Amino acid sequence: MGSRERLAVPQRRAGDPVFRARNITPPTLYDQEAEASQWAASTPDTTRPCVVLGFGNGYHLEGLHAGPVIVVEPDVGLLRKALEVRDLTAVLRRVELLCPETPQQVIDHLTQRFPTQDLTVLGHPPSLRLHPTFFNELTGRLEARKRLTEFRLKILVVDPVYGGSLPIAQYCSRALQALGHDVASFDSSQ
């Protein structure tokens, strides 16, 4: 997204680096660790997979103890700057990092990885302000996905009378069951 030219790296009071992008500053330059702990403590459920919207400086991820954690950062330039100014090795060991070009890439990844699980979604406020279009579209799609997973269908799969398409009907039945639907098969060969 070409954010490198609009980055500034001030030092916070304790001497640790933070950065400012397009005049969007982390919420505080004073005690980011305390703020990160407070942010992580607001996590409603740490047993479910957690999707964090925005990598930022990475401070907020240090206090987050959920599992698994998937971090979505659409701006590779910001991510690169965060990795240049801080040693984030410990954070990167605990999270899965996605740098998608489109919100749909995130949805595709999450659907493949967690087809039937509900997700905890946490937004990093400065990142949400920096990329409102991207994250608004992504959160809308995640909400739609959540509503669909709550919607269980009762599906009857009619097996073929004869022929080689029986395995396809069986594959479809298993896939629909994996998505959480109630599936019954009808043997039409009789």
Contacts with 178 (C-beta within 8 Å, 6 or more apart), sequence order: 115, 116
Q: Considering only 19-23, 35-39, 79-83, 156-160, which range has the smallest mean pLDDT?
A: 19-23
Separation of alpha carbons 70 and 121, rounded Å? 10
* Sign of the C-alpha dihedral computed for residues 60, 62, 63 and 66 taken in this order: positive
- Whole-model pTM over 0.75: no
At residue 165, the pLDDT reads 85
Q: How many CB atoms lie within 10 A of CB 175?
A: 12
Residue 126: cis peptide before it, omega within 30 degrees of 0: no
In the structure, what pLDDT confidence band is assigned to residue 142 with cuts at 50, 70 and 90?
confident
Q: What are phi and psi of 185, to 5 degrees?
A: -110, 145
At residue 51, the pLDDT reads 92
In the chain the domains, ranked by start, together with CATH numbers, are 4-150 (3.40.50), 154-186 (no CATH)
Long-range contacts of 99-106 (CB under 8 A, 24+ apart): 99/73, 99/74, 100/72, 100/74, 101/74, 103/134, 103/137, 103/138, 103/141, 104/141, 106/51, 106/72, 106/138, 106/141
In the structure, what pLDDT confidence band is assigned to residue 183 with cuts at 50, 70 and 90?
very high
At residue 134, the pLDDT reads 96
Separation of alpha carbons 180 and 69, rounded Å? 23
At residue 167, the pLDDT reads 87
Q: Is a pLDDT exceeding 50 seen at residue 2?
A: no
